[in-house]
Every structure is written in structure tokens, then in C-alpha cells.
Amino acid sequence: MTKTRAGSFFEDYRIGQTLVHAVPRTITDGDRALYTALYPTRFALASSDEFARACGLPRSPLDDLAAFHVVFGKTVPDISLNAVANLGYAEGRFLSPVYPGDTLTAVSEVIGLRETSNRRSGVLWVRTTGFNQQGEPVLAYVRWVMVRKRDPEAPAPDPVTPTLAEAVPALELMVPPGLDFTRYDFALAGEPYRWSDYSIGERIDHVDQVTIEEAEHMLATRLWQNTAKVHFDATIRDDGRRLIYGGHVISLARALSFNGLANAQLVAAINAGVHANPCFAGDTVSAWSEVLDKAETLAPGVGALRLRTVATKAGAPAFARLDEAGKHRREVLLDLDYWVLIPM
């Protein structure tokens, strides 16, 4: 009998099933340095312990998206090893900052199952929660993927499609305890724009672009202990290309958004996210954002912006997202709807 993991297939999942994901991971300053080397990120709160302390935090937290990737990575062997496609995210909430020294684990619950019409696969919805070593949840999100069936003839479970919030309500956004932006240093942070300077519907071209190398996305994806074969093995696809982990594009887009959103210091929620087209090494990525909504929070000086950030291949027309049929254009790599925290 083989001891290697073949991964689970659609018919292996049951509604309510709990998946305890393997391999806890201690976060260190090394992860922070690598995140800086991998993405052109400059948000002051994740860059400087002193800036973080001036904002009421004990020290500089790990970039929220790095914490997301670590938790996501743990789920891959149990959820997406036989996935055909990563279909979407919803109800993503960042619940507590992660600091170097914290050890993360992850658990998922199966909340939706629906066989596809051709009976060869099905859509699986899971709600994943990442925990620190105190057992406190640090982030949670719903993700759905299309998973192959081992046997097309296997009976389908009763279809369950979960009802998901179109966006995390502003009132439910978690602000890290102690966070205080009332004495925020805009000069040190790099831009003068505060919450009140942004208006709903406003669009920002982030200007900067990055051409991606194979070594970079593989270093990143391994750092998150994400084992999906397509990211590492050039012999899988007929064209010899390695598919880039979608989260790599999320972090790239967020880092590029510094130019115009330098004060959007923390990601508070992911409302929705679609990897509209595959990304490969050699692609040059640019990003633009649109302000979808604004909200206040109860924390001193802390406001929230709901943003849509779109990553595209370089050369795409400005602010182009959907084609005439309402589908994502070919040049769109990522369409991410999320909340950020920004000084009022």
C-alpha cells in the first residue's frame, strides 16, 4: 500500500465535516524579511516596529496577507490537491494580528457541496479558520473550489449551496486592540491622503509594474508551505509552464497599491476574490483600485475603505475589467474586493 497522499476527491467530503490541517508553522522575522524581498511592499505598519508602536501595537505585525497565505497553504493537501479550479473567496476576516513567534494552525469545515452537471466533479465550499498558539482565531474565510470525483458514478450528496454575505459588514470589521491612528505620521507613511480624501467611485492607477520570475513565485509559494504541484513542476502542463499561486498575485497587487493607497495599513476583510486568468512567469503585472464603500470604526482615528483592486497584465487598457458579455477580460488576473483600515 502506498503511503503517499493522493488527496481527497469530491465524494469524500460530507457537510459539517471538520478537517484539521497538518503542519503547524511558527512565524519569524525571517518570514517578514522574505515578504519584503518578494513583494514591493512599503506599508509602514508592517515595515517598522517603531511606527507600529506609535499606532498602539506592541510591534510590527506580519503582513495580513502573509498570514492568509500560511493558513491557506495548510489547507491545500486536504482541499485542493485534486482541485480543477479555485473558484472564489468570501467572508474573509482578519481577526487578530500575527507577530513573529506566533505558531499558526488551520481547521476547515465543509459548508457546501454541489455536483457539477457532467458528474465528473463538484464544487466544495469550506470555511477555514487559522489559529495562533493560544487557540485564538487569527483569520477566517470561505473558499470554494471545483474538485474532481474519483469515480464519476459515485452518488452525489444532496446539494448544499451556502448563503454567503456579499461583503463583510463594516460593523463586523475587527480592528486590532490598541490600534490608534489619531497621531498618525503621514509623512513617515509616505502619502498625505486620509480616509476623508477618498470618495466612493474613485479610481486609482497604481502605476508601478513588476515582471514575475519563476524563482520568485516558487520561493513565495514554498514559504507558505503550499504544495500544489502545478506551481513547482514544469512537466505537468503541456506548455511546460508553471501556474503561479493566485495568492502571489494578491500580494503583488496589494504591494503595488501602496502607490496611491500608502495609508491603507491593514487588510481587515476579503469580501470576494476571483483569479480571473492564470498568471505565468514573464508576465508583467500592474494594478488599479476603485473605492467601493467607506465606513467608520469604533477605534480612535481608524476608518475603513472597501476597495476593489484589479491586477492585470501590463498593457491592458486603463481601468478595464469586464468585457461586453460581463465576463473578466483576458488581461485581468485578479479581481479582489476587500476592506482596509486607514487613518481618518
Which 207-266 residues touch its own copies, going by CB under 8 A? 207-211, 213-216, 218-220, 222-223, 225, 227, 229, 232-235, 242, 259-262
Spatial neighbors of 32 by CB under 8 A, at least 6 apart, are: 46, 60, 62, 63, 66, 100
Which position among 155, 201, 315, 326 is part of the footprint of its own copies (CB under 8 A)?
A: 315
Subset of residues 278 to 297 that bind its own copies, contact rule: CB under 8 A: 284
Positions 66 through 95 that interact with its own copies (CB under 8 A): 77
User: Taking CB under 8 A as the rule, does residue 36 contact its own copies?
Assistant: yes
Looking at beta carbons only, is 44 or 267 nearer to its own copies? 44
Interacting residues with its own copies between 118 and 157 (CB under 8 A):
133
With helix as H, strand as E and coil as C, how does the chain read?
CCCCCCCCCHHHCCCCCEEECCCCEECCHHHHHHHHHHCCCCCHHHHCHHHHHHCCCCCCCCCHHHHHHHHHHHHHHHHCCCEEEEEEEEEEEECCCCCCCCEEEEEEEEEEEEECCCCCEEEEEEEEEEECCCCCEEEEEEEEEEEECCCCCCCCCCCECCCCCCCCCHHHCCCCCCCCCCCCCHHHHCCCCCHHHCCCCCEEECCCCEECCHHHHHHHHHHCCCCCHHHCCCCCCCCCCCCCCHHHHHHHHHHHCHHHHCCCCEEEEEEEEECCCCCCCCCEEEEEEEEEEEEECCCCCEEEEEEEEEEEECCCCCCCCECCCCCECCCEEEEEEEEEEEEC
Q: Does 338 bind its own copies (CB under 8 A)?
A: no
Q: Is 196 in the site for its own copies (CB under 8 A)?
A: no
Burial class (CB in 10 A: 0-12, 13-18, 19+), 193: middle
- Indicate whether 49 belongs to the interface with its own copies (CB under 8 A): yes
Name the segment binding its own copies (CB under 8 A); options: 174-182, 198-206, 297-305, 324-332: 198-206
26 binds its own copies (CB under 8 A): yes
Among residues 11, 32, 82, 145, the one that binds its own copies under rule CB under 8 A = 32
* Pick 62 or 173: Cβ nearer its own copies: 62
The single residue listed with the C-alpha cell 482596509 is: 340
**What's the half-sphere exposure (Cβ side, CA atoms, 13 Å) at 147?**
31
* Closest approach of its own copies to the CB of residue 261, in Å: 8
CB atoms < 10 A from the CB of 166, how many?
10
- Shortest spacing between CB 216 and its own copies, in angstroms: 5
267: β partners: 340
Our CB check for its own copies shows the closer of 37 and 200 to be 37
Q: Which of 40, 88, 278, 300 binds its own copies (CB under 8 A)?
A: 40
* Among the listed residues 24, 152, 177, 178, the single contact to its own copies using CB under 8 A: 24
Tell me the closest approach of the beta carbon of residue 31 to its own copies, in angstroms. Answer: 5
Size of residue set near its own copies by CB under 8 A: 76
Residue with Cβ nearer its own copies (164 or 261): 261
Assess 17 for contact with its own copies (CB under 8 A). no
| Residue 88 or 293 having the CB closest to its own copies | 293
Give the cell for residue 52. 507600529
CB of 29 or CB of 172, closer to its own copies: 29
Query: Shortest gap between Cβ of 299 and its own copies (angstroms)?
Result: 22
Q: Which is nearer to its own copies, 4 or 117 (CB)?
A: 4
Which span (85-93, 116-124, 153-161, 182-190) binds its own copies, by CB under 8 A? 182-190
**Residue 91: CB minimum distance to its own copies, A:** 26
